[in-house]
């Protein structure tokens, strides 16, 4: 794998899918949970945004400042909010930090740091972007399942799924 351009494009599309989902959610939606102790929709979205900053802080800390500024000093791994604007800002800052960190490591040829031995994508830094795409898709699926269980009309769920057609363009 020598040209990560397609992966960068996929990551940008993933950001668009996240934005479309955020555009469709209400405060009532953000409070939905499985009632069994699982994360609320807001907590899942917060986790999606903050996990980028957490990973970047681990692997390439010089690019994590924009995400860490939004946590108010909290660890990205425990940070969450129910404010949609802040979630949107965290996702955008995390996406930007991830792209810059990956590009810098591709340019330098240096692998990501791995201070805790957790496996920080040693074969290719761009795989971090793929990891985040899959991670987001997992949580978006959980969110749609919670919306469905909460009685959101099928037409609205169909509209959400139709918006994700941008992957095929």
Residue closest to 45 by CA, chosen among 73, 85, 102: 85
The region that residue 151 occupies, defined by phi over 0 for left and psi between -120 and 50 for alpha, beta otherwise, is: left
- Contact in structure between 15 and 151 (CB atoms under 8 Å): no
Mean pLDDT score, 161-167: 77
Quote the domain boundaries for residue 162. 15-20+40-168
Mean pLDDT score, 49-75: 92
Q: Does residue 134 sit within a domain?
A: yes
**Which pLDDT belongs to residue 1?**
55
- Contact in structure between 90 and 53 (CB atoms under 8 Å): yes
Tell me the C-alpha distance between 139 and 114, whole Å: 25
pLDDT band at 159 (very low <50, low <70, confident <90, very high): confident
Query: Does residue 163 or residue 148 have the better pLDDT?
Result: 148
Q: Does residue 6 sit within a domain?
A: no
Q: Does residue 133 sit within a domain?
A: yes
Tell me the C-alpha distance between 128 and 117, whole Å: 15
Q: Does residue 101 sit within a domain?
A: yes
pLDDT band at 64 (very low <50, low <70, confident <90, very high): very high
Contacts (Cβ under 8 Å, ≥6 apart) of 4: 102, 106, 124, 126, 129
Q: What tokens does 55 get?
A: 């990973």
- Contact in structure between 42 and 31 (CB atoms under 8 Å): yes
Domains: count for the chain: 1
| pLDDT, tens only, 69-117 | 998 888 888 899 999 999 999 999 999 999 999 999 999 999 999 999 9
DSSP three-state, residue 118: coil
| pLDDT, tens only, 4-43 | 899 999 999 999 999 999 999 999 999 999 999 999 999 9
Q: Does residue 9 sit within a domain?
A: no
Q: Where are the alpha helices (DSSP H) in the chain?
A: 5-24, 27-30, 41-59, 65-70, 84-108, 127-149, 154-163
**Which pLDDT belongs to residue 18?**
95
- Contact in structure between 128 and 98 (CB atoms under 8 Å): yes
């Amino acid at each position: 794998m020598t040209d990560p351009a397609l992966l960068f494009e996929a990551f940008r599309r993933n950001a668009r899918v996240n934005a479309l989902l955020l555009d469709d959610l209400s405060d009532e939606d953000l409070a939905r949970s499985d009632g069994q102790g699982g994360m609320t929709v807001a907590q899942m979205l917060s986790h999606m945004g903050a996990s980028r900053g957490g990973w970047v802080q681990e692997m390439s800390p010089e690019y994590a400042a924009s995400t860490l500024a939004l946590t108010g000093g909290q660890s990205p791994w425990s940070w969450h909010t129910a404010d949609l604007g802040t979630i949107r800002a965290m996702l955008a800052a995390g996406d930007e930090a991830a792209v810059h960190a990956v590009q810098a490591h591709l340019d330098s040829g240096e692998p990501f740091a791995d201070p805790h031995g957790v496996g920080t994508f040693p074969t290719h830094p761009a795989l971090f972007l793929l990891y985040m795409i899959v991670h987001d898709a997992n949580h978006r699926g959980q969110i749609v399942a919670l919306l469905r269980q909460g009685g959101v009309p099928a037409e609205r769920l169909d509209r959400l799924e139709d918006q994700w057609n941008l992957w095929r363009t």
